[in-house]
Amino acid sequence: MDDLIVEFLTETNESLQELDTDLITLEQNPNDKNLISKIFRLMHTIKGTCGFLGLPRLETVAHRAENVMGRFRDGNLEVTPEYVSLILESLDRVRFLLGHIEATSTEPEGSDAELIEKLDSVYEGRDAFQSGGTAPPQTEKETPPSSELEMPSFDDVRTLIADQPTEHTTEPAITTPAAVKEQKESKDSTESAIANQSLRVNVDVLENLMTMVSELVLTRNQLMQIARSDKDSGFVTPLQRLNHVVSDLQEGVMKTRMQPIGNAWAKLPRIIRDLSMELGKKIDLVMTGQDTELDRQVLDMIKDPLTHMVRNSGDHGIEPPADRIKAGKPETGTVHLRAYHEGGHIIIEIADDGRGLPLEKIKKKIIQNGLASEEEVARMSPQQIQQYIFHAGFSTADKVTSVSGRGVGMDVVRTNIEKIGGSIEMNSIEGKGSTFSIKIPLTLAIVSSLIVAVGGERFAIPQLAVRELVLVSQKSEHRIEMIKDTPVFRLREKLLPLVSLNDLLKLGNNNALSSGFDHKYIIVTQVGGYSFGLIVDQVFDTEEIVVKPVAKILKDLTLFSGNTILGDGSVIMILDPGGIAKVTGETSMPEDSDATTSSSSALTSETKTSLLLFTAGDDAPKAVPLSIISRLENIELSTIEQSDGQMLVQYRGTLMPLIPFNSSVTLGSEGQKPLLVFADRGKSVGIIVDSIIDIREEVIDIQVSRNKPGLVGSAIISGKATEIIEVMHYLNSVHGDWFKDHGDEPYLQQNAAESVNGKPLPRKILLVDDSPFFRNMLCPVLTVAGYDVVAVESPIKALELSERGDKFDLIISDIEMPEMNGFDFATKVRSSKEWQNTPMVAMTSHSTPEDIDHGYKSGFDRYIAKFDRETLLDTINRTLALGGHQS
Amino acid sequence: MSTHPATPAPQHSQNVGSVSSTQKDFLTIDINGQKFGIPILQVQDVLGEIKVTRIPLAPPQVSGSLNLRGRIVTAIDVRKCLGLPTLEENKKHMSVVVIHDDELYSLIIDKVGDVLTLQEKEFEQNPATLDITWKSVSLGVYRLDGEILVILDVPKLLLSLQHPN
Domain A3-197 belongs to what architecture? Up-down Bundle (1.20)
- CA atoms of A475 and A479, how far apart (whole Å): 7
- A806: Cα separation from own chain's centroid: 29
Q: Are strands A720-725 and A711-717 parallel, antiparallel or unpaired?
A: antiparallel
Q: Inter-chain contact A553–B162, Cβ cutoff 8 Å?
A: yes
What local confidence, expressed as pLDDT, does residue A682 receive?
61
Please list every residue in chain A whose beta carbon sits closer than 8 Å to the beta carbon of residue B70: 215, 218-219, 565
pLDDT band for position A79 (50/70/90)?
A: confident
Q: Which residues, 6 or more positions from A645, have their beta carbon under 8 angstroms from its beta carbon?
A: none
In chain A, pLDDT over 90 holds for what percent of residues?
A: 1
CA distance B143 to chain A (A): 33
Statement: A446-599 belongs to CATH 3.20.20.370? no
Please list every residue in chain A whose beta carbon sits closer than 8 Å to the beta carbon of residue B68: none
CA distance B68 to chain A (A): 9
Q: What is the pLDDT of residues A119-139, one digit of tens each?
A: 888 888 776 666 544 433 433
Q: What would the mean pLDDT of A35-63 be, rounded to a whole number?
A: 78
- CA atoms of A842 and A768, how far apart (whole Å): 10
Q: Inter-chain contact B70–A215, Cβ cutoff 8 Å?
A: yes
Contact A520, A535 (CB under 8 A): yes
Asked if the model's pLDDT at residue A225 lies above 90, the reply is no
CA distance A220 to chain B (A): 12
Contact A626, A492 (CB under 8 A): no
What local confidence, expressed as pLDDT, does residue B98 receive?
92
- CA atoms of A651 and A631, how far apart (whole Å): 12
A-chain residue closest to B157, CA distance:
A553
What local confidence, expressed as pLDDT, does residue A230 receive?
75
What local confidence, expressed as pLDDT, does residue A649 receive?
83
Q: Which long-range contacts (CB under 8 A, 24 or more apart) does A357-361 make?
A: A357/A386, A357/A389, A357/A396, A357/A428, A357/A430, A357/A434, A358/A396, A358/A430, A359/A385, A359/A386, A359/A430, A361/A396
Spell out the domains of chain B, with CATH numbers in brackets. 10-162 (2.40.50.180)
CA distance B29 to chain A (A): 23
Q: Which residue has the higher pLDDT, B29 or A797?
A: B29
Q: Which of B57, B62, B74 sits opposite A506 (nearest CB)?
A: B57
Q: What would the mean pLDDT of A739-748 be, rounded to a whole number?
A: 36
For residue B18, the SS3 value is helix
Q: What would the mean pLDDT of A425-452 be, rounded to a whole number?
A: 81
Nearest in space to A622 (alpha carbons), one of A655, A661, A590: A661
Asked if the model's pLDDT at residue A757 lies above 50, the reply is no
What local confidence, expressed as pLDDT, does residue B163 receive?
58
What local confidence, expressed as pLDDT, does residue A133 receive?
41
Asked if the model's pLDDT at residue A323 lies above 70, the reply is yes
Q: What would the mean pLDDT of A386-412 be, rounded to a whole number?
A: 59
- CA atoms of A829 and A855, how far apart (whole Å): 13
Q: Which of A552, A565, A571 sits opposite B101 (nearest CB)?
A: A552
What local confidence, expressed as pLDDT, does residue A700 receive?
66
In DSSP terms, A680 is beta-bridged to A683
Tell which of A548, A568, A571, A573 to mutate to test the B interface (max B CBs under 10 Å). Answer: A571
Q: Which of A551, A563, A573 sits opposite B103 (nearest CB)?
A: A551
Asked if the model's pLDDT at residue A320 lies above 80, the reply is yes
> Residue A765: what residue type?
I
Asked if the model's pLDDT at residue A728 lies above 60, the reply is yes
Q: Does any CB of chain B come closer than 8 Å to the CB of residue A1? A: no
What local confidence, expressed as pLDDT, does residue A451 receive?
92
Tally A–B CB contacts below 8 A: 58
> A714 vs A697, A729, A732, B46, B52, CA distance in Å?
16, 16, 21, 71, 57
Contact A381, A395 (CB under 8 A): no
Question: What is the interface pTM, i.e. ipTM, of the complex?
Answer: 0.78
Tell which of A213, A501, A553 to mutate to test the B interface (max B CBs under 10 Å). Answer: A553
Q: Inter-chain contact A573–B55, Cβ cutoff 8 Å?
A: yes
Q: Which residue has the higher pLDDT, A556 or A459?
A: A459
Q: What is the pLDDT of residues A339-381, one digit of tens each?
A: 887 766 788 898 888 888 888 888 887 887 777 788 888 887 7
- Could you give the dihedral angle defined by the CA atoms of residues A696, A699, A703 and A708, in that order, rounded to the nearest 10 degrees? 60
**A446-599 and A606-738 share one fold:** yes
Q: What would the mean pLDDT of A444-455 be, rounded to a whole number?
A: 82
- CA atoms of A319 and A656, how far apart (whole Å): 56
Q: Are strands A486-491 and A494-500 parallel, antiparallel or unpaired?
A: antiparallel
Contact B110, B22 (CB under 8 A): no
Q: Does any CB of chain B come closer than 8 Å to the CB of residue A569? A: yes
pLDDT band for position A840 (50/70/90)?
A: confident
Q: What is the pLDDT of residues A94-119, one digit of tens each?
A: 888 888 888 887 778 777 888 888 88
Nearest in space to A502 (alpha carbons), one of A564, A443, A551, A459: A459
Binding-face residues of A in 203-242 toward B, CB within 8 A:
215, 218-219
Read off φ and ψ for residue A864, nearest 5 degrees.
-135, 160
Contact A66, A48 (CB under 8 A): no
Q: Which of B55, B66, B67 sits opposite A554 (nearest CB)?
A: B55
pLDDT band for position A846 (50/70/90)?
A: low
Contact A477, A387 (CB under 8 A): no
Could you tell me the pTM of the whole model? 0.47
Tell me the residues of B at the A interface, defined by beta carbons under 8 Å apart.
51, 53-59, 62, 64-67, 70, 72, 74, 101, 103, 105, 158, 161-162
- Phi-psi map region of A552: left, alpha, beta (phi>0 left; psi -120 to 50 alpha): alpha
Sheet architecture: strand order including B111-119: B111-119, B23-31, B34-39, B148-152, B138-143, B123-124
CB atoms within 10 A of CB A515: 9
- Could you give the dihedral angle defined by the CA atoms of residues A741, A747, A751 and A753, in that order, rounded to the nearest 10 degrees? 30
Q: Inter-chain contact B74–A573, Cβ cutoff 8 Å?
A: no
> A436 vs A355, A371, A582, A788, CA distance in Å?
14, 23, 23, 31
- CA atoms of B31 and B23, how far apart (whole Å): 24
For residue A432, the SS3 value is coil
Q: Which of B57, B64, B74 sits opposite A553 (nearest CB)?
A: B74
Tell which of B65, B103, B104, B160 to mutate to test the A interface (max A CBs under 10 Å). Answer: B65
- CA atoms of A261 and A440, how far apart (whole Å): 12
Q: Does any CB of chain B come closer than 8 Å to the CB of residue A571? A: yes
What local confidence, expressed as pLDDT, does residue A590 receive?
42
B-chain residue closest to A553, CA distance:
B162
> A712 vs A624, A703, A779, A781, CA distance in Å?
10, 10, 11, 7
CA distance A553 to chain B (A): 4
CATH number for the domain whose boundaries are A751-887: 3.40.50.2300
CB atoms within 10 A of CB A132: 7
Statement: A262-441 belongs to CATH 3.30.565.10? yes
Please list every residue in chain A whose beta carbon sits closer than 8 Å to the beta carbon of residue B101: 552
Q: What would the mean pLDDT of A555-581 be, rounded to a whole number?
A: 83
What local confidence, expressed as pLDDT, does residue A286 receive?
86
Asked if the model's pLDDT at residue B11 lies above 70, the reply is no
Q: What would the mean pLDDT of A560-586 be, rounded to a whole number?
A: 81
- CA atoms of A464 and A578, how far apart (whole Å): 11
Three-state DSSP string of A629-640: CCEEEEEEHHHC
What local confidence, expressed as pLDDT, does residue A181 receive?
43
A-chain residue closest to B106, CA distance:
A551
Write down the domain spans for chain A.
Answer: 3-197, 203-257, 262-441, 446-599, 606-738, 751-887
CB atoms within 10 A of CB A462: 22
Q: What would the mean pLDDT of A869-885 be, rounded to a whole number?
A: 74
Lowest model confidence (mean pLDDT) among A150-159, A270-279, A585-594, B59-68: A150-159
Asked if the model's pLDDT at residue A145 lies above 80, the reply is no
Query: Read out DSSP for A310-352?
Result: HHHIIIIISPPHHHHHHTT--SSEEEEEEEEEETTEEEEEEEE
B-chain residue closest to A219, CA distance:
B70
CATH H-level superfamily of A606-738: CheA-289, Domain 4 (2.40.50.180)
- CA atoms of A699 and A610, how far apart (whole Å): 9
Q: Inter-chain contact A505–B56, Cβ cutoff 8 Å?
A: yes
> A871 vs A60, A156, A838, A865, B5, CA distance in Å?
70, 69, 20, 8, 83
A-chain residue closest to B104, CA distance:
A551
What local confidence, expressed as pLDDT, does residue A155 receive?
41
Q: Inter-chain contact A506–B64, Cβ cutoff 8 Å?
A: no
Q: Which of A557, A559, A565 sits opposite B70 (nearest CB)?
A: A565
Q: Which residues, 6 or more positions from A240, have their beta carbon under 8 angstroms from its beta carbon?
A: none
Asked if the model's pLDDT at residue B97 lies above 90, the reply is yes
B-chain residue closest to A217, CA distance:
B70
Contact A821, A813 (CB under 8 A): no
Asked if the model's pLDDT at residue A832 lies above 60, the reply is yes
In DSSP terms, A563 is beta-bridged to A548, A573
Q: Which of A215, A569, A571 sits opposite B65 (nearest CB)?
A: A571
> A510 vs A507, B55, B59, CA distance in Å?
8, 18, 21
CA distance A557 to chain B (A): 7
Lowest model confidence (mean pLDDT) among A566-575, A696-705, A812-821: A696-705
Q: What would the mean pLDDT of A197-220 be, rounded to a whole number?
A: 79
A-chain residue closest to B58, CA distance:
A554
- CA atoms of A99 and A83, how far apart (whole Å): 24
Q: What would the mean pLDDT of A279-303 be, rounded to a whole number?
A: 83
